Structures are given as C-alpha cells and as structure tokens.
C-alpha cells in the first residue's frame, strides 16, 4: 500500500524509496499520472504543452521580452553543452570560476568543444569571489564569456550570482549560468547584469522527471548564433528556429517528460511559486542539518554558504563506517542517499528537494539512527 501523496506526510510504507538526492527526485502522484498518456510529437495539443512550459519557465526568471526558452532533449548536461557550443563563438574564450565537480564538467565540455577556457580556481569549501573574478576579466581582455555554476551540487555551495553578474556586466562580457539545481528556488532575474543564458533541467527543483533540459537565452545572442554550433543535435539556434517556424521540436521530443513538467509547473504555481518552494526546501534543510547533528554528523559547509538544495556531510572516522553499507541499509528502509563528490574529504550527500516535507526528513533521521546502531556506530560519538 502506498502512503498518501501529501507533502509532509511521513512515509512508513512506500512503493518506491524516497529520493534524497539532487535529482532525479521524488515526484508527486499527479506528476507521475501526467505520464500515463501517449502523445503524438507533431500533434497540436502536445505543441501547446511545449509552448505553455516554455512560457512558464521564462516567467520564473523574468525573461519575457529579452530572452527566449529553448527546450532540449536529454539531461541538464546536454543543455549546458548546447548553450556553450552555440552561444560561445568558436574563437571565444571562457572564464570558468571553479570550486567543484560541475565547474570541472564545464571545463571538460569546453575542451571537447575546442573552445578556449581560462580556469579561475577556488577551494571546494570556498565560494566564488566576484572581486577576484572581475580582476581576472580586467587582466585578460580576450575573455568573451564567463560560465558560472550558481549552486555547486557537489557540495551544496551557493555561489554569489548577483555579485558575479554585476562584475561581468561592468567588464562588458557575457554570462552563462548553470542553474541546474537552483532554478525555481533561488532568485534569478535575467533583466539584471549580463546574463546571456540560464541553463537548467526538468528533474530538479521544479519537481518534474529527468529527460528535458532547457536554455533561457538572450534573443539577440541566439539570433546571432546561426552556424556556430559544433553539433546538429545540440544546435540551440537551429532548435529554436525550428520551434518558432513549426511549433514542433526538430527531433523526437520526450513527450511524457514534457507533460509531467507541465503538471509539475502547475503544482509549483499552486504552492506559491519561488518563495514558497524555497521556504519548504529551507525548512527541509534546517530539519535535516539539526537532525544529522544530533547523530554526530557535521555539514561540510558553514550555514552562510549552504544552499537549501543538498547538504554534504563529513563521513565519520569510526572504523565501522562504510558508505556502501549505509547506502544499502538506508535503501532497505526506503531512503536513497548520494555519495560525496569531493576530492580531498570523505563525505556523503543528502538532498532537501523534491515532493517531500519536514516529516519525511524526520523519518529519514530516525532510519539513519537505526542504521548507525546496526553498523555499530554510536550516534553522537
């Protein structure tokens, strides 16, 4: 028997484990139900769904008039590569402030695309410093773009978007924002600063299912990007032009994913939009950190740098500690966690996002206490 699909209801019997991960994540019954129908990719009704989804996504970052929303098949990384490969000219040069795994991924994408990059290195425990970034732009007039990760999901680090956008604007460069795990929860306003594009995906804080990325790009930049892309499938300009001309996707769209996202966006509006979604996730995060501290776990980041998306915890030094055993026991109890992504510290991660509430977090904390007892790790020791 499934537990009621109500936010904040503790889950004692669940067909699927609760996904305390940065995505895919736990979705509502209504979002799942939206995928129960088959839709034709050329059908006018499906094309209307695409248009509605794009309009809603654009409004979340106040992009009406200046920007356009281009959906892309695939994961968020597909959309990041499409944005970089289309909006950065082949002779462009990209500054990448790097303080985590997803910044590293951008550098790797740029290398594959043969776009020149400049790495500005920060420690994994250190947010991007806008003053250092601006100094790097002043020192290198050849830099055309900055590729910036808003929330570094490898740690849960919140990087300062507004300060970075202002610095990039002062130096007359263009900013591409990876907002994969911040879109819809942390404020982003493309009317301010030099934001050329914002990239995210369906299976994150909008609480859809994975399979669709999207790029919200400045219209004039996209119009100027014909023939820039290295790829046919990831040509953002061509995808946008075809959508404009026909109202259809160029190639087979993820119809079930798009329908689920429309339903998830309806729930997003009904919940109260960005402020309400952010408030619920912040409450989840506070309950999670407090509960894990009672069990002896410390967050990797200080509270001031922690986004309410996913929390990285330091692994205990107890000799009985093994994340693979913890993962298996917690999965048996109905909760999926994520391993850490840091290079120099043993950690693991617990997500705060998805169709969950504080009582779900309380249930996870209770399961964690039982698991630690099974493993012979005394809580709080």
Query: Do 81 and 141 belong together in one domain?
Result: yes
The verdict on 253 and 302 lying in the same domain is no
Task: CATH number of the domain at 287, please.
Answer: 3.90.1150.10
Give the whole-angstrom CA distance, residue 101 versus residue 252.
31
How would residue 379 be classed by pLDDT, with cut points 50, 70 and 90?
Answer: low
pLDDT digits (tens, 9 = 90+) for 319-369: 889 999 999 999 999 999 999 877 678 999 999 999 999 999 999 999 999
Same domain, 287 and 338: yes
Of 268, 297, 318, the residue that ends a domain is 268
| d(C-alpha 177, C-alpha 162), whole Å | 11
The domain tally of the chain equals 2
Q: Looking at 217, 243, 268, which one is the last position of a domain?
A: 268
pTM for the full predicted model: 0.93
Segment 152-207, tens digit of pLDDT: 998 999 999 999 999 999 999 999 999 999 999 999 999 877 899 999 999 999 99
For the domain that residue 102 is a member of, what is the CATH number? Answer: 3.40.640.10
Query: What pLDDT does residue 343 have?
Result: 65
Residues 70 and 45 in one domain: yes
| 225 lies in the same domain as 349 | no
Find all residues with CB under 8 Å of 46, minimum gap 6, and list them. 39, 40, 253, 255, 258, 259
What is the per-residue pLDDT across 77-113, written as a single tens digit (0 to 9) for each? 999 999 999 999 999 999 999 999 999 999 999 999 9
What mean pLDDT comes out for the span 19-33?
95
| Shared domain check, 163 and 55 | yes
Q: Across residues 25-41, what is the average pLDDT?
A: 96
Domain of residue 242, residue span: 33-268
Q: Are residues 142 and 239 in the same domain?
A: yes
Looking at the structure, do residues 83 and 39 belong to the same domain, yes or no? yes
Same domain, 105 and 202: yes
Q: Do 294 and 246 have their domain in common?
A: no
Instruction: Answer yes or no: is 2 within a domain.
Output: no
The verdict on residue 237 lying in a domain is: yes
For 32, 192, 366, the CA distances from 1, given in Å and listed in that order, are: 17, 49, 21
Q: Residue 380 has what pLDDT?
A: 56
Contact (CB, 8 A) for 197 and 148: no
Domain-ending residue, one of 231, 247, 268: 268
Q: Are 287 and 259 found together in one domain? A: no
Domain match, 58 and 168 both: yes
The per-residue pLDDT for 192 is: 78
Question: Distance between CA atoms of 236 and 229, rounded to whole angstroms?
Answer: 8
Q: Retrieve residue 169's tokens.
A: 């604007």
């Amino acid at each position: 028997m499934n537990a009621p699909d109500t936010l904040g209801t503790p889950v004692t019997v669940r067909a699927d484990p609760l996904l305390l991960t940065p995505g895919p994540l736990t979705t509502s019954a209504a979002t799942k139900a939206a995928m129960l129908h088959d839709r034709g990719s050329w059908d006018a009704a499906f094309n209307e769904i695409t248009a509605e989804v794009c309009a809603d996504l654009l409004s979340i970052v106040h992009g009406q008039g200046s920007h356009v929303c281009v959906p892309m098949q695939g994961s968020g990384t597909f959309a990041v590569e499409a944005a970089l490969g289309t909006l950065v000219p082949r002779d462009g040069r990209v500054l990448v402030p790097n303080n985590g795994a997803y910044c590293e991924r951008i550098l790797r994408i740029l290398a594959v695309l043969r776009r020149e990059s400049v790495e500005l290195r920060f420690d994994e425990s250190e947010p991007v410093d806008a003053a250092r970034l601006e100094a790097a732009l002043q020192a290198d007039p050849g830099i055309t773009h900055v590729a910036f990760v808003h929330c570094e999901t490898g740690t849960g680090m919140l990087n300062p978007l507004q300060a970075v956008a202002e610095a990039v604007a002062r130096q007359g460069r263009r900013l591409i924002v990876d907002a994969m795990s911040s879109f819809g929860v942390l404020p982003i306003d493309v009317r301010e600063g030099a934001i050329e594009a914002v990239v995210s995906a369906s299976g994150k804080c909008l609480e859809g299912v994975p399979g669709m990325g999207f790029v919200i790009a400045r219209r004039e930049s996209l119009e100027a990007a014909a023939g820039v892309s290295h790829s046919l499938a990831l040509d953002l300009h061509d995808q946008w032009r075809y959508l404009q001309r026909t109202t259809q996707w160029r190639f087979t769209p993820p119809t079930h994913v798009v329908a689920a996202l429309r339903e998830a966006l309806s729930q997003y509006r009904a919940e109260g939009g960005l402020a309400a979604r952010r408030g619920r996730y912040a409450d989840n995060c506070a309950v999670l950190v407090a509960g894990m501290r009672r069990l002896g776990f410390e967050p990797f980041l200080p509270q001031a740098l922690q986004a309410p998306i996913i929390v990285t915890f330091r692994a205990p030094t107890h000799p009985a500690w093994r994340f693979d055993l913890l993962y298996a026991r917690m999965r048996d109890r109905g909760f999926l966690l994520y391993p850490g992504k840091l290079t120099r510290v043993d950690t693991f991660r617990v997500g705060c996002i998805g169709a969950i509430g504080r009582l779900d977090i309380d249930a996870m904390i209770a399961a964690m206490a039982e698991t630690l007892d099974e493993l012979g790790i005394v809580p709080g020791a």
